Chain A
C-alpha cells in the first residue's frame, strides 16, 4: 500500500526558515509533489521532485531522497501570507496519494 507522514502543525516567525518533512511508503514511485492550500481555497502546486536532490523555486525549495523515502519542503524568508496547509503527495503506480497536510502558522 501507500502512506505518507508529515507533521500536523508547524509554527514559525516572519522572516524565518521552516522545513516540513514528509516520509512515505509506496509501491512504485514516480515523484514527490508539494501543494499549498489556503483556507477555503484549492491546492496550488509548488514543486515536484522525481530525482534525488534539491529543487529551488524562489523562496521555496524541495528535497528528495529516494533511498530514504523522504523529502522536505523548505520555506525561506517566511511571510504572513505563507500561513496555509502544505500537502506532500506521492505518485506511484498511476496513483497519487496525499498526506494529511501540515498546517503552518506564521507569527509576526
Chain B
C-alpha cells in the first residue's frame, strides 16, 4: 500500500543532544511537510519541500533543519533539543501544495 512512514515512532533524547527524525513516502508526491504538534493543539507547520525547493516558515526556530535527499525521503534534524521541543512530529505529503495532505503516524519526541 502506498503510504507515509515515519521512524522511529518514539524517540527519547537528552537536552542538547542532536536528533534526527525520518520520513519516507511511496506516494511519489512532490511536496513533503514537517509539522510539530503539542498536546491539544493544532499541527504547526515547520517547513515544507516542493520537490527540492525548501520553504521555511518564518517562525520556525533555527534549531530545526530539514533535508530531502530524494523524492522519497525527508529528514528533520533538531540540532540542540530543548525541553520545549518535546512534541509529536508529523510528516505529511501532497501531490501539489494546494492538494490534500496525507500524514504519517508521527514520531513522539521526549527530551530528558
Kindly list chain B residues whose C-beta atoms are within 8 Å of the C-beta of A87.
42-43
Chain B's interface: helix, strand, loop or mixed, by majority? loop
Known interface pairs A33-B100, A96-B101; A43-B90 also in contact (CB < 8 Å): yes
Instruction: Assess the B106–A41 pair: CB atoms within 8 A.
Output: yes
Question: Interface residue count for B (Cβ, 8 Å)?
Answer: 17
Kindly list chain A residues whose C-beta atoms are within 8 Å of the C-beta of B103.
35, 42-45
Q: Which chain A residues numbered 86 to 102 have a C-beta less than 8 Å away from chain B?
A: 87, 89, 91-92, 94-101
Kindly list chain B residues whose C-beta atoms are within 8 Å of the C-beta of A44.
103
**Chain B interface (Cβ < 8 Å from any Cβ of A):** 40-43, 45, 90, 97-106, 108
**Chain A interface (Cβ < 8 Å from any Cβ of B):** 30-31, 33, 35, 40-45, 48, 87, 89, 91-92, 94-101, 103
